[in-house]
Amino acid sequence: DTAVSQTPKYLVTQMGNDKSIKCEQNLGHDTMYWYKQDSKKFLKIMFSYNNKELIINETVPNRFSPKSPDKAHLNLHINSLELGDSAVYFCASSQGPASGANVLTFGAGSRLTVL
Amino acid sequence: AQRVTQPEKLLSVFKGAPVELKCNYSYSGSPELFWYVQYSRQRLQLLLRHISRESIKGFTADLNKGETSFHLKKPFAQEEDSAMYYCALSVYNQGGKLIFGQGTELSVKP
């Protein structure tokens, strides 16, 4: 009964391809996030949605496009994949900053390898 | 600019030794700070947060606004404490995003 689930867990693909990572949460949270963890284990936020509305969009190439069909889902689509996109992508959710302590619940991560 | 700094990339101690993982932050507002932990092959999870003033798995962390620090401490390290530890700052006026430090890998040797 996973709270935040991501698919796929592993993704190996060629440069130039387009791929998507899906995320779903069953916690009833209002806010969802995508974080990128690079090879040095550094975690950096990419996007955040609150009730299907984009509220955080860091300096991410526009090849990355998040989509939130409803507040329980936040998918990440990546066009024209590059070698530097290889990383572990973490989805997370929270009740949102307005709720007080903004505690994030993370998914298990999706390891993307671009060859 | 908001920033979280964890100066040690790797910290190695022996079982039973005290451990302190350092975290310093830069933030103009009232900080909300957290420690997250990632055990091997597990997902990132909350360890503790400063507003709770709690001790989890023997770990404590005190917010020192004068030194802008939120160091994580445990008096007697255990082998099962070996993991990646991240200090994080919540930025409420920017959608509540968490800014993470670079992470410190704690290795507790038998």
Average pLDDT over residues A36-53: 90
Interchain contact, A41 vs B99, CB within 8 Å: no
Judged by CB atoms closer than 8 Å, whether chains meet at A103 and B34 is answered as yes
The least confident of A26-40, B5-19, B51-65 is B51-65
CB contact under 8 A, B98 and A45: yes
pLDDT in tens, A55-71: 888 878 899 999 999 98
Question: Hey, of B11, B90, B97, which one would you mutate to test binding to chain A, going by the most A CBs within 10 A of its CB?
Answer: B97
From CA B25, how far away is CA B31, in angstroms rounded? 9
pLDDT band at A97 (very low <50, low <70, confident <90, very high): low
Alpha-carbon distance of A89 to A44, in angstroms, equals: 10
Tell me the pLDDT band of B10, cut-offs 50, 70 and 90. Answer: very high
Q: Which residues of B touch A33 (CB under 8 A)?
A: 97
Tell me which of A30 and A113 has the higher pLDDT.
Answer: A113
B35 within 8 A of B103, measured Cβ to Cβ: no
- On the question of a cis peptide bond just before residue A8, with omega within 30 degrees of 0, the verdict is yes
Nearest CA in chain B to A106: B44
The residue-averaged pLDDT of A47-55 equals 87
- Counting Cβ atoms within 10 Å, is residue A29 exposed (0-12), middle (13-18) or buried (19+)? buried
pLDDT band of residue A1 (cuts 50, 70, 90) is low
Average pLDDT value for residue range A87-99: 84
Burial B44-57 (b: 16+ CB within 10 A, else e): bebbbbbeeeeeee
Provide, rounded to the nearest whole percent, the portion of chain A with pLDDT above 90.
70
Give the mean model confidence (pLDDT) for residues B85-109.
89
pLDDT band at residue A50 under the 50/70/90 scheme: confident
